[in-house]
Amino acid sequence: MTRNKPNIWKYSLSAVKGIYDAYAVSMINFLRKPVTEEYPEYKRPLPERSRGRIILTRDPDGDERCVACYLCSAVCPTSCISMESAEREEDGRRFAIWFRINFARCIYCGQCEEACPTLAIQLTPDYEFCQYEVLDFVYEKEDLLVDHGGRHPDYNFYRHAGVTEKGDKGAHPDEEEPVNLKSNMP
């Protein structure tokens, strides 16, 4: 490989120009008005999908949406979600007996929302919840659970998945009657 010997004059000239440009650009910026928006005097209105404090929403029937499937905690890059699933005594529904997010660790990446198959976990535009005590950043399920459906008020996981939580199998709109294993009728 032959390497072109740089032309020393061209090289110097471009170096000087580079340095000159740098100084010029910074001076132009120096003379411009700063773009800083001063918080808390001015609070910028945030778009609906901006990612802040996390909530656990409810389905249209008012039941907790989260089925404690562990997908959010698995995908979370900072491992800040922990929970334990269990069977609800009344109806056998899978739910989280506790669900904890450590907001001191959360980086508001939104992966959890992305992963959630039931649309339970959602990020909200609220970001003003600073605390002095690190333990106060650890939110339990009681603190996370809200009484609405968030951005997706209509979805209900149990109307689509073929598990029954109440009632018989085959009751969902896209399902057939359960097979009767003791009948030979097709």
Q: Is the dihedral of CA 116, 118, 124, 127 positive or negative?
A: negative
Q: How far is CA 87 from the centre of its chain?
A: 25
Name which of 51 and 172 has its Cβ closer to another protein. 172
Asked if 122 interacts with ligand SF4 (CB under 6 A), we say: no
Q: Does 155 bind ligand SF4 (CB under 6 A)?
A: no
Q: Is the Cβ of residue 58 or residue 80 nearer to ligand SF4 in the bound state?
A: 80
Which residues from 119-138 bind another protein, rule CB under 8 A? Answer: 135, 138
Evaluated on CA atoms 78, 83, 85, 88, the torsion sign reads: negative
Member of 121, 124, 149, 158 binding ligand SF4 (CB under 6 A): 121
Q: Could you tell me which of 21, 113, 19, 133 has the C-alpha nearest to residue 66?
A: 113
Q: Figure out which of the listed residues 55, 58, 59, 71 binds ligand SF4, where binding follows CB under 6 A.
A: 71
Tokens of 66: 């989260």
DSSP for 60-121?
TTSSB-----SHHHHH-TT--EEEEEEE-TTT--EEEEEEEEETTT-----HHHHH-TTS-E
Binding site for ligand SF4 (CB under 6 A): 66-72, 75-78, 80-81, 101, 106-112, 115-116, 118, 120-121
Binding site for another protein (CB under 8 A): 19, 22-23, 25-27, 29-30, 32-36, 38, 67-71, 74, 84-87, 94, 97-100, 117-118, 135, 138, 140-141, 157, 160-163, 168-170, 174-179, 181-182, 186
